[in-house]
Structure 1
């Protein structure tokens, strides 16, 4: 028998009223198909197998219910949104598996195989939004409801929990994280980045736009909080952004514009927790590019940002996006009262000096020196404690899909590994895997054997967990695009 993990029933509705609420929300479409209208958004039932359509609404699985209102999810994100995908769990098309008093898992039902079979597989996004000590509780509850679930872009910590639940775990690439307290664009290996930023800055104006209220204020108010800040006319700006978005995606592979799930689609309006920066030509006022930075939360505070949505017109200076990142880092350092790192003559010399200092300190303490081949490097979690006691401490450039995968930690599927490697090497027409990885590697002065040369930049592995012993699980990586948003 299906359980409802939401307080008072499904999304706050009493359990006895589930059927009434769902049937009351159903509307007839012009094509004769049914949809559920919830908070002004329609979610089509067309993909539902006929065996489910014939059941009473009270007996339908949880993926048939409408998504949870955003303002009810904000408190969990504020406290436990440590992962870069926490705000991506709010995107249209996702459902939310809620365990009261613990947290939630965002997921969608994806077609896994030819459409004619009408088979749906649950596909979960990232780590659960909950305290890390509750990962096992969330995993077991979700797998009890969806035993064939696939988990995408999960951390090593949650992957270990899923492996203990009997799932296989495959690497799907790594996330590039910059430590704001120590990261610098100086050094010989980053001369190309510095030159691109300096050249792009000539005649370009960077500004923050579409500012939304802090998430703490938005909690309990939802979209009304963002609407309350509409002191300016954003329609023209939104129209310009949409055109830049169209031009950018037209050059990024056959299916790049269809992806959503891991790549959260841009929202051209104010969003709590999201900061939006634009670059314009100072003479013509033309919009050249923009980046949306998603906040990362811990214990009610912003501890980092994720450069989630990056767009640029094809004929703009190639350094425009680098300029936006550099300006954003300077702005955040100023707000968090972090001093900019001193200039370094080279990354190699800085790393050598750091290792020498570690060896001298260890010798003074009578300890063995640190192995020079494994220097300590900050991570998104460790940088939160190493940089300062408060404020924003890191900037994530996001996942480099299928790049420098490391499957040594977990039991994995070799067939899926082979498919991923082939897709990275020969899948440019599908998605720009190699070019995306190369662009992010420049920030770390080069990535070698899973470690950046710059010690202020780390490469953290992320994983896909699944129960497929064959190659079928790899379909999830590429069939997400087939899940159409209404």
Structure 2
């Protein structure tokens, strides 16, 4: 397997020619199977386009290059497009990528591939609210019902910005909405995005925006990328919105629901290609860094859905990429 991955890099040099936006959307619908594939079309992204294969999406700041998600191409072509991208940006860091990307970048170029979190996928064909482990979900739904909460799917609502701004004021990071890792709430491209709003007494009190995940021009899953709730209403609005949306997707025959990144939800073991010191630092940040970001709360919330978890990684050239991480925090507007 390792030899096959390495062999993918032994290809003739590709000429990177800029796609039209329509061409890029076409690749997204065919190969956008990563939970962040849709987010690669957010404003401010740059692209390495490879005709006949797909594209790599990235942002640059202060001389650093950050790739978001796996390449939007067929998995068997990851090596070919990454080989050429690395020639152009040999010091690039790769954020929220799969093990297939990690294996290639480590074997071919010696990059570290360190787990930066987990993701979770729910099989909607097997989904239900029954079972002892989902009692918290049922309690939240019952509380919402008693408070007169209803859910509607709509494209927009007048209270969207009001709810979002009030929600941001309650966050540990208040200055700006996070970008890059979380796409903007309003994107110029929004095809097949789904929006669900929770209402109380006719006024919106929360919402979740879902992005499509594609394979072979079909939607195979959705991922909740933007969620907000009125700070004065805490009785399980997110759980209520999620449960309603999941039932809608299940009825439509959508096979999965992805929950997206669970940052710093890490396995206790260290893989051979990981940076051991960075892994320890990330463990420490999870345990002691909740004043910066609510890592534990987010992990708890997503764990209530009992999905199947899998690792997600960052690829980096230096064992301790201090400068790169600082620049990324500025890029994402965390700092």
TM above 0.5, yes or no, is yes
1: distance between equivalents of 2:59 and 2:195?
Answer: 27
Counterpart check, 1:293 vs 2:236: no
Structure 2 residue aligned with 1:84, among 23, 35, 39?
A: 35
2: distance between equivalents of 1:394 and 1:401?
Answer: 21
1: distance between equivalents of 2:325 and 2:101?
Answer: 19
- 3-state SS of 1:107 partner: strand
**Cα distance, 1:406–1:462 mapped onto 2, change above 3 Å:** farther
Structure 2 residue aligned with 1:249, among 134, 148, 168?
A: 168
* 171-180 or 243-252: bigger deviation: 243-252
Counterpart check, 1:461 vs 2:323: no
2: distance between equivalents of 1:198 and 1:176?
Answer: 25
Q: Provide the residue aligned with 1:198 in structure 2.
A: 142
Q: Provide the residue aligned with 1:45 in structure 2.
A: none
- 3-state SS of 1:97 partner: strand
Structure 2 residue aligned with 1:394, among 256, 262, 266?
A: 256
Q: CA deviation at 1:479?
A: 3.6
Checking the alignment, whether the CA contact within 8 Å between 2:125 and 2:255 is kept in structure 1 is yes
Q: CA deviation at 1:182?
A: 0.9
Checking the alignment, whether the CA contact within 8 Å between 1:180 and 1:333 is kept in structure 2 is yes
1: distance between equivalents of 2:132 and 2:182?
Answer: 32
Deviations 1:59-87 (A, max 9, x none): xxxxxxxxx65323110011100011111
Checking the alignment, whether the CA contact within 8 Å between 2:277 and 2:320 is kept in structure 1 is yes
1: distance between equivalents of 2:30 and 2:321?
Answer: 37
Checking the alignment, whether the CA contact within 8 Å between 2:270 and 2:279 is kept in structure 1 is no
Q: Provide the residue aligned with 2:16 in structure 1.
A: 5
Q: Provide the residue aligned with 1:129 in structure 2.
A: 72
Checking the alignment, whether the CA contact within 8 Å between 1:152 and 1:464 is kept in structure 2 is yes
Checking the alignment, whether the CA contact within 8 Å between 1:179 and 1:393 is kept in structure 2 is yes
1: distance between equivalents of 2:317 and 2:134?
Answer: 42
Q: CA deviation at 1:477?
A: 5.3
Q: How many equivalent residue pairs?
A: 320
2: distance between equivalents of 1:418 and 1:196?
Answer: 35
2: distance between equivalents of 1:469 and 1:317?
Answer: 41
1: distance between equivalents of 2:84 and 2:280?
Answer: 31
1: distance between equivalents of 2:188 and 2:205?
Answer: 18
Counterpart check, 1:109 vs 2:26: no
Deviations 1:235-293 (A, max 9, x none): xx2x5211111111222212573421111121178810211111111x2x211100011
2: distance between equivalents of 1:88 and 1:268?
Answer: 9
2: distance between equivalents of 1:325 and 1:121?
Answer: 36
2: distance between equivalents of 1:182 and 1:401?
Answer: 26
Counterpart check, 1:314 vs 2:258: no
**Cα distance, 1:407–1:133 mapped onto 2, change above 3 Å:** farther
Q: CA RMSD in A?
A: 2.2
Deviations 1:363-406 (A, max 9, x none): xxxxxxxxxxxxxxxxxxxxxxxxxxxxx111011111011235
Counterpart check, 1:168 vs 2:112: yes
Q: Provide the residue aligned with 2:153 in structure 1.
A: 208
The ranges of structure 1 where at least 4 consecutive aligned residues each deviate by more than 4 angstroms after the TM superposition are none
2: distance between equivalents of 1:334 and 1:247?
Answer: 33
Counterpart check, 1:265 vs 2:209: no
Checking the alignment, whether the CA contact within 8 Å between 2:41 and 2:189 is kept in structure 1 is no
**Structure 1: which 5+ runs fail to align?**
12-67, 112-119, 211-233, 337-391, 445-456
Q: Provide the residue aligned with 2:130 in structure 1.
A: 186
1: distance between equivalents of 2:105 and 2:174?
Answer: 30
Checking the alignment, whether the CA contact within 8 Å between 2:173 and 2:334 is kept in structure 1 is no
**Cα distance, 1:264–1:151 mapped onto 2, change above 3 Å:** same
**Structure 2: which 5+ runs fail to align?**
1-12
Q: Provide the residue aligned with 2:332 in structure 1.
A: 481
The structure number with the bigger radius of gyration is 1
**Cα distance, 1:254–1:482 mapped onto 2, change above 3 Å:** closer
Q: CA deviation at 1:138?
A: 1.1
- 3-state SS of 1:291 partner: strand
Matches within 5 A, 1:58-457: 70-111=21-62, 120-165=63-108, 166-202=110-146, 203-210=148-155, 237=157, 239-254=158-173, 257-267=176-186, 271-281=190-200, 283=201, 285-336=202-253, 392-405=254-267, 408-444=270-306, 457=307
Q: Provide the residue aligned with 1:24 in structure 2.
A: none
Checking the alignment, whether the CA contact within 8 Å between 1:208 and 1:277 is kept in structure 2 is yes
